[in-house]
A and B are shown apart, each in its own frame.
Chain A
């Protein structure tokens, strides 16, 4: 079991560029979560999929951020026109159907917007 895999581990973008972050949940897990960690805000919930369907995206910034889960083996978080304040560690987690509230996190993607 390789755990939740996130790629890339580090991404540097210029202001205004697009960034796409990838997450591969643990095989067989039905739920995928995205969180963001910053020094100021700590760990914040962004969005949540169950069985590939978006359930709650209330934590997502209304503009420029979008998340998808096209199949059960990966989810993407896309940030358009990145801004310096988007710099953070973006964490993906997954959980199984019978223990949905027990989250298993990936190592995160550190996004730096210059």
Chain B
């Protein structure tokens, strides 16, 4: 079936630095969403992209359907950015049926 490979599985950043998370897809996806699990355990929707890039504050995401990948860039990381991040992709004909990556556990330390 469709696969979403997310990396890294864990990431540690010093406050103020940045990095990128990546999801590779084994097949062409129609769109991608990025989520962060908050302290209550809820998945918070960060981005929805059908193409191109979107930016929100210190977060920026890109999606390339043809090249089969998406990235989530975090700059100037803050302590409150710590948490688990998931990408989820939509296949072409069943957009509501998301296939999730395995998550990236991000720890931002002082």
> Taking beta carbons and an 8 Å cutoff, which residues of A are in contact with B?
3-4, 31, 33, 35, 42-45, 48, 55-56, 58-59, 89, 91, 93, 99-108
Q: Chain B contacts of A91 at CB under 8 A?
A: 43
The one of A33, A42, A55, A101 in contact with B102, judged by C-beta atoms closer than 8 angstroms, is A42
B interface residues (Cβ-Cβ under 8 A, vs A)? 31, 33, 35, 40-45, 48, 86, 88, 90, 94-103
A105, B90: Cβ atoms under 8 Å?
no
Q: What number of residue pairs across chains A and B have CB atoms under 8 A from each other? A: 56
Closest 4 pairs between A and B when the two form their complex, measured CB to CB: A43-B100, A105-B43, A107-B42, A107-B41
Contacts A43-B88, A103-B98 aside, 4 further interface pairs with beta carbons under 8 A come to: A58-B97, A101-B90, A101-B96, A105-B43
Give the docked Cα–Cα distance between A106 and B44 (Å). Answer: 9
Query: What are 19 A-B interface contacts by the 8 Å CB criterion?
Result: A4-B42, A33-B96, A42-B100, A42-B101, A43-B86, A43-B98, A45-B98, A48-B97, A59-B97, A100-B96, A101-B48, A101-B96, A102-B33, A102-B45, A102-B48, A105-B35, A105-B42, A105-B44, A108-B41
A4 to B44, CA, bound (A): 11
| Chain A residue nearest to B101 in the complex (CB) | A42
Shortest C-beta distance, A11 to chain B (Å), equals 14
CB proximity of A106 to chain B, nearest CB, Å: 6
